[in-house]
Amino acid sequence: MKIFEPVGFRQAFPALQQPTVYLDSASTALKPQTMIEAITAYYATNTATAYRSLHPQAQETTRALEQARLQVADLLHASSFQQIVWTKGVTESLNLIAQSYARSTLQAGDEIIVSELEHHSNLIPWLIVAQQTGAKVIKWQVDSTGSLSLHDYQQCLSTKTKIVAISQMSNVTGYAVDIEKVIKLAHKHSAVVVVDAAQGIVHHPLNVTELDIDFYAFSAHKLYGPTGLGVLYAKTELLAQMPVWHGGGKMLKTASFAGFEALPAPQKFEAGTPDIAGIIGFNAVLDWYQTIDWQQAEQYTCHLAELAEQRLSQMSGFTSYRAKQSTILSFTIKDIHHSDLALLLAEQHIAIRTGELCAQPLIKALGVSGVIRASFMPYNNASDVELFVTALQNALVILTED
């Protein structure tokens, strides 16, 4: 039976024993004890590599890595575990798509639609491949609230559209576009859709098969897992046609000075020794993940963000950029620089993120130089909100003194 009980959930995270109020989870989530124990156990008792040696420890490691791949496929409702590729993170996943799939298929004059709310990791790879191929990046513009209009999207689509790159959820506002409609409209134009799920998967993993998603990428560290590990899901037929991006050991059948023969996907994209400890740790996270009622956890977390927004809205000069039903609260205080507030909050042991949040086009579209972002997770509580609000009030007293 899946449950969510706030106090018990919070106790799973040893980092919360520190005095800091952690409100920077959109950057990276805290790690549950079960992940820490799994990684420690691997380094303490095994440390064998995978996919090579025949001794029992190596075989055990290989099985653990493939079990994790199966768990990710199950999480995403992928039709096959072979559609799951291990990467270093969502950034590498998106660059892999750009440099393998896009670079080998795009021609001069082709178009790539990229929304204006994207994190730089889902913008820069497309700018690079456009320069390499002569393709053109088309901006899907946000409105004054940071939202995307499907009408505007349809105006961007054309017979030249080959790729649509879209975030499942903005890391600045928490806004989420209707991915299902985005995909259906793109497929009518025979374009493929790349979904950056770095933020969105934490709150609502998508069913990649049901939605007919072409590419779906995320980082483990935002889903309570380790840093340096990412996942790329892709349709089988797309992986089959994509050329090798980088080479080395473990990704080939034969090699000579005359050439090499690569293994099929996903192995052909996993050259070298993988992040074994990270994958084992993430497998433990996914085991734990299955025990939680995430619908209740999400409702609880949204309530915390709403509570913080309500309290801060009473302050003079407060402007919120939070989307409805979002766990992310980005805001500004009129005539107060975001960096000044961040420094004073840090001195009071409040961990938040500030600035352009690796989303310069969106920040510019919102008409600000930067924002303060408090991002909540189910391990936060009402006390965190009160401490955050009090610290912000203290900071404003200092910054507005004559």
Number of other residues whose CB lies within 10 A of the CB of residue 103: 17
Give, as one character, the DSSP assignment of residue 243.
P
**Helix or strand or coil: residue 196?**
strand
Structure tokens at 89: 């993170």
* Residue 271 burial class via C-beta count within 10 angstroms: exposed 0-12, middle 13-18, buried 19 and up: middle
* 302 classed as catalytic: no
Q: What whole-number distance in Å separates Cα of residue 30 and Cα of residue 39?
A: 15
Question: Are the beta carbons of 199 and 193 closer than 8 angstroms?
Answer: no
Question: Are the beta carbons of 172 and 328 closer than 8 angstroms?
Answer: yes
Helices (H), 229-320: 236-241, 276-289, 294-312
Q: What whole-number distance in Å separates Cα of residue 317 and Cα of residue 330?
A: 14
Q: What whole-number distance in Å separates Cα of residue 283 and Cα of residue 113?
A: 34
Rg (Cα) of the chain, in Å, rounded?
A: 22
Dihedral pair phi/psi, residue 108, rounded to 5°: -55, 130
Closest residue by Cα to residue 68 from 42, 45, 94: 42
**Helix or strand or coil: residue 355?**
strand
Selected catalytic residue, list 130, 352, 358, 374: 358
Q: First CA to last CA across the chain, in angstroms?
A: 58
Structure tokens at 266: 């996903």
Q: Which positions are annotated as active-site residues? A: 358
